[in-house]
């Protein structure tokens, strides 16, 4: 029986809204903003700080600084006193939170590497939501973003996510082999929701 649904998504494809609708339809807990908040709680920092580092690698200058901190005598003395909130730390905590949410069950988990952490979990169903660039830009324009900002975000956020998945999981994003279903959101959010529900039902029938 499927007890966990992960939704990986391209930025601007409507994945978050689709996940919310699915959670409501299934009566399951939605782990999206809640996931960010729980990571922040465990790290004792602001949710905004976690959101700035989620699903992306740290900047090169920061990675070099961190390597210095780890490799130098001065760094070894000062590192314990520094409260470092970075991609590495957030990824480690995210894995624990995602795993706990999956164990709890009846969970819809959005992104944060969840499909990759839970790839071997028999009761999980993994979905990737995508859309053409022009459709993602149109969707972002409706949220109040300028045309320039919408296009830049649609291109750069996914680039960051791809780099994050490559670094921490060693695969090319989205790594199709990890997903039961990949669906183009241009067919409409309701149609996407129905397609995912049908896919989950079909997989349950198999076994």
pLDDT tens per residue across span 12-29: 999 999 999 999 999 999
Residue 88 in this model has a pLDDT that exceeds 90: no
For residue 130, which of 51, 192, 195 has the smallest C-alpha distance?
192
* Beta carbons within 8 Å of 103's beta carbon, 6+ residues apart: none
- Which residue's entry shows tokens 């729980």? 38
Helices (H), the chain: 15-26, 33-43, 47-53, 60-71, 73-78, 87-104, 114-117, 133-141, 147-169, 189-206
Range of the domain at 22: 4-206
Residue 57 in this model has a pLDDT that exceeds 90: no
Q: Are 8 and 87 in contact (CB under 8 A)?
A: no
Span of 48-62, 82-96, 173-187 with lowest mean pLDDT: 48-62
Residue 65: band (very low, low, confident or very high) from pLDDT cuts 50, 70, 90? very low
Residue 73: band (very low, low, confident or very high) from pLDDT cuts 50, 70, 90? very low
What CATH number is associated with residue 166? 3.40.50.300
Residue 93 in this model has a pLDDT that exceeds 80: yes
What are 184-203's pLDDT values in tens digits?
999 999 999 999 999 999 99
Residue 125 in this model has a pLDDT that exceeds 70: yes
Q: What's the whole-model pTM score? A: 0.86
d(CA 32, CA 87) in angstroms, rounded, equals 17
Number of folded domains in the chain? 1
């Amino acid at each position: 029986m499927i007890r966990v649904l992960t939704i990986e998504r391209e930025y601007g494809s409507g994945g978050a809204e689709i996940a919310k609708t699915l959670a409501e339809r299934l009566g399951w807990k939605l782990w999206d903003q809640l996931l960010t908040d729980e990571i922040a709680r465990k790290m004792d920092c602001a949710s905004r700080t976690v959101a700035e580092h989620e699903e992306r690698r740290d900047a090169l200058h920061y990675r070099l600084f961190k390597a210095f901190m780890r490799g130098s005598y001065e760094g070894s003395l000062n590192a314990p006193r520094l409260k470092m909130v970075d991609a590495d730390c957030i990824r480690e905590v995210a894995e624990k939170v995602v795993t706990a949410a999956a164990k709890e069950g009846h969970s819809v988990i959005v992104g944060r590497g969840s499909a990759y952490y839970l790839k071997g979990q028999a009761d999980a169903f993994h979905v990737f939501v995508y859309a053409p660039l022009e459709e993602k830009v149109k969707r972002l324009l409706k949220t109040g973003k300028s045309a320039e900002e919408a296009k830049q975000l649609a291109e750069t956020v996914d680039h960051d996510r791809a780099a994050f998945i490559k670094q921490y999981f060693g695969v090319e994003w989205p790594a199709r082999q990890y997903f039961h279903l990949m669906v183009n959101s241009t067919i409409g959010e309701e149609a996407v929701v129905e397609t995912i529900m049908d896919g989950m039902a079909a997989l349950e029938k198999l076994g």
